[in-house]
């Protein structure tokens, strides 16, 4: 159904695994871990331009708040008129509110595609999304772009003794499917890798939210709906990572950590760039004002007075 997402995602992951597998070995757990992280970076790089537009849109929204409030006050009883005026205001300033939603809308199916592709390396489970395949059939069945040999390589890959396709809550039947791929792992070995990743992902989610909210305007932060959303971002979402982490395979946790690393770097890069642009605009505006304004201590110059027209005296007046 979503093959148009699954195949591109698996192709990017395949490419990076070939890159790192050629250096570290195809079955190396760090080669697969780096492939997952670089997959995240590749996808986020493709979404960088829409992300910059999203931040610009949020800044435009902040700058237009006084005018929006004025329109709401002026047309409080006429929603149709207010909608027309809002459209005029948005068109005048080149403001497109849909651009603020685009990166989120694009990232959601990408995450679903990655989650599906990574889970599909081990299809022995019978739960949600599991196909109930035997360990032998699973190891000899391709996974989208990945060949059967690549599937076996992924099953063999381990980080500090834990297969990256297992979760803390993986059933025993799933763990036993690794018997011919390095032995049956223990829950303790999986938890020793998964829990630190969960904690890192949770903390990174919190601090990314804190960095984002630090740039909110006081008026926006005072809005009750915004205040509720801020609390969700700061506390509920990070706790959600800890609560949901045991159900996620290690490869997905690696994705989460890599995604947060990119988000942290992107926020600082983009905000610094936009701050420089704003500073340049302010300097340009100040220079224009200085070019029109009088020098310090000088009187403002006024337009030259028109010369008076001498009255035309006639001979009669002379007499």
With residue 152 as reference, give the H or E element that holds it: helix 148-156
Q: Write out pLDDT tens, residues 132-181.
A: 888 899 999 999 999 999 999 999 999 999 999 899 999 888 898 899 89
Average pLDDT over residues 296-314: 55
Compute the average pLDDT of residues 274-292: 81
Residue 88 pLDDT exceeds 90? no
Whole-number percent of the chain with pLDDT over 70: 85
Residue 131 has a pLDDT of 74
Q: Which pLDDT value is given to residue 244?
A: 94
Phi, psi for 162 (deg, rounded to 5): -110, 125
Q: Has residue 313 got a pLDDT over 70?
A: no
In this prediction, residue 130 carries a pLDDT of 67
**Cα–Cα distance measured from residue 197 to residue 37, given in angstroms and rounded to the nearest whole number:** 13
Whole-number pLDDT of residue 293: 55
Of residues 57 and 204, more confidently modeled: 204
Best CA proximity match to 227, nearest among 238, 213, 215: 213
pLDDT in tens, 61-85: 777 777 877 877 887 777 888 888 7
- The pLDDT of residue 265 is above 60: yes
How confident is the model over 237-256, as pLDDT tens digits? Answer: 999 999 999 999 999 999 99
Secondary structure of residue 61 in the 3-state scheme: helix
Q: What is the pLDDT of residue 141?
A: 93
Residues with Cβ < 8 Å from 270, sequence gap 6 or more? Answer: 51, 52, 55
At 49 the pLDDT is 82
Q: Share the mean pLDDT of the chain.
A: 83
Question: How many H helices and E strands in the chain?
Answer: 15, 2
Per-residue pLDDT averaged across 170-196, rounded? 92
Q: Residue 273 and residue 278: Cα distance in Å, rounded?
A: 9
Q: What is the pTM of this model?
A: 0.78
Residue 316 binned pLDDT confidence (cut-offs 50, 70, 90): very low
Residue 226 pLDDT greater than 60, yes or no: yes
- Confidence (pLDDT) at 297: 58
Q: What angle do CA 25, 30, 31 make, to 5 degrees?
A: 45
4 has pLDDT over 60: yes
User: Cβ atoms within 10 A of the Cβ of 15, count?
Assistant: 14
């Amino acid at each position: 159904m979503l093959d148009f997402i699954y195949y591109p995602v698996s192709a990017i992951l395949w490419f990076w695994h070939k890159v790192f597998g050629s250096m570290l070995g195809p079955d190396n757990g760090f080669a697969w871990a780096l492939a997952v992280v670089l997959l995240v970076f590749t996808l986020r790089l493709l979404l960088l331009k829409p992300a910059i537009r999203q931040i610009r849109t949020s800044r435009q929204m902040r700058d237009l708040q006084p005018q929006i409030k004025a329109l709401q006050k002026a047309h409080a009883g006429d929603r149709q008129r207010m909608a027309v005026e809002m459209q005029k205001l948005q068109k005048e300033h080149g403001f497109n509110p849909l651009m603020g939603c685009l990166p989120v809308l694009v990232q959601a199916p990408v995450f679903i595609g990655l989650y599906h592709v990574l889970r599909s390396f081990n299809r022995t489970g019978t739960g949600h999304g599991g196909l109930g395949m035997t360990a032998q059939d699973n190891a000899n069945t391709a996974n989208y772009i990945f060949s059967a040999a690549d599937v076996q390589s992924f099953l063999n890959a381990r980080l500090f003794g834990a297969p990256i396709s297992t979760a803390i809550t993986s059933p025993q039947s799933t763990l036993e499917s690794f018997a011919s791929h390095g032995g049956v792992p223990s829950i303790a070995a999986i938890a020793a890798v998964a829990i630190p990743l969960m904690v890192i992902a949770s903390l990174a989610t919190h601090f990314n939210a804190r960095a984002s909210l630090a740039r909110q305007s006081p008026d926006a932060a005072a809005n009750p709906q915004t205040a509720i959303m801020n609390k969700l971002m700061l506390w509920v979402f990070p706790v959600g990572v800890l609560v949901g982490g045991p159900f996620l395979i290690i490869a997905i946790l690696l994705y989460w950590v890599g995604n947060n690393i990119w988000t942290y770097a992107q926020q600082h890069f983009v905000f610094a760039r936009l701050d420089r642009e704003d500073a340049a605009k302010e300097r340009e505006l100040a220079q224009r004002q200085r070019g029109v304004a009088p020098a310090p201590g000088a009187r403002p110059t006024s337009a030259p007075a028109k010369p008076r027209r001498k009255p035309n005296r006639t001979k009669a007046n002379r007499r």
